Amino acid sequence: MWSSLFKFALLSTVLAAPAADSDALERRLITGTLNDGNAFVQGTIDGMTWQASGVLEEGCTLSTINDCYHMFLISNTTEELDTNHLSSPRQRDEFHFPQVDAGVEFSYTWKQYLYSSTGTGTTWFHLFQAFGVEEDSPLITLDAEKDELMIKDYVRGTGGPQCGDVTCPVTDLSNYHGTTTTHTASGSFGPDGSLSYKVVNSATGDEIISYSVSGDMGAGAGYVKFGIYRLCWDGMTNANAVVGDWAS
């Protein structure tokens, strides 16, 4: 037993400290483990709901985010799977704000740091979701895909390059990789809802990507999610990220 615990503690230390990216990062400590990656687990902390099939730790070894959580997903397509979707293998480490009813205004902010060692494929890799409860699916997402950072709108489009009559916002992933980013999302869910979503470089304040819509935001209640959630693909890399500093 003690041997197993020691092996996991050692593994956690290794996973939590990938090579530093270009930002000047502060060293911090891992203070606890919410999930070790051996099962799909969910819980609550600080008013937030978390879901994790991969490693999810309180604290982080390298981050400019103050109240930080480390996320790690392994490159093996048969491990750390969300057991609710085994017919469509996927991995997930996410937090979400409380559910809000249709027509109720919300306003949130949080930070994320996605290590540049995290690769992308041709399938979805959600970093943010505005999620519809009745639909049981995302309405609008931010994805890392094909070395790009892109908005996807599943209400006005099909999750492809078109957000209704306009082209969905997209930028090179290098503008996001290895950078502490601040996300803001405000609006309301429901048939007469809205969403204003923006991602900026936390250090410079420069906008990286943004998207605003009004009207259809699902049939009813919803909630906002963030983290790393991806459909598995052959050749995928480990995924390393830090999130935190959320507020509402």
Q: What distance in Å separates the CA atoms of residue 213 and residue 199, rounded to the nearest whole number?
A: 15
* Beta pairing partners, 72: 55, 240
More confident residue, 66 or 17: 66
- The predicted model scores a pTM of 0.90
Domain count within the chain = 1
Query: What's the burial of 109, exposed, middle or buried (CB within 10 Å: 0-12/13-18/19+)?
Result: middle
Q: Are 84 and 51 in contact (CB under 8 A)?
A: no
* Owner of token pair 């502060």: 26
More confident residue, 160 or 1: 160
Q: pLDDT tens across 76-135, in order?
A: 999 999 999 999 999 999 999 999 999 999 999 999 999 999 999 999 999 999 999 999
Query: What's the burial of 172, exposed, middle or buried (CB within 10 Å: 0-12/13-18/19+)?
Result: exposed
The mean pLDDT value for 216-233 works out to: 98
Lowest mean pLDDT among 19-28, 38-47, 141-150, 174-183: 19-28
Whether 19 has a pLDDT exceeding 70, the answer reads no
Q: What distance in Å separates the CA atoms of residue 73 and residue 91, rounded to the nearest whole number?
A: 7
pLDDT score for 62: 74
Domain residues for 193? 2-247
Question: What token pair was written down for 200?
Answer: 């900026």
Q: What distance in Å separates the CA atoms of residue 192 and residue 8, rounded to the nearest whole number?
A: 48
226: pLDDT confidence band, cut at 50, 70 and 90? very high
Q: Of 121, 132, 56, which Cα lies nearest the Cα of 89?
A: 121
Which residues have C-beta within 8 Å of that of residue 136, sequence separation ≥ 6? none
Neighbours of 158 (CB within 10 A): 10
Q: What are the distances in angstroms from CA 231 to CA 95, 117, 181, 182, 237?
A: 17, 18, 23, 24, 12
Average of per-residue pLDDT values in the chain: 91
18: pLDDT confidence band, cut at 50, 70 and 90? very low
More confident residue, 240 or 23: 240
Q: pLDDT tens across 51-75, in order?
A: 999 999 999 987 789 999 999 999 9
Q: pLDDT tens across 188-211, in order?
A: 999 999 999 999 999 999 999 999
CATH number at residue 95: 2.60.120.200
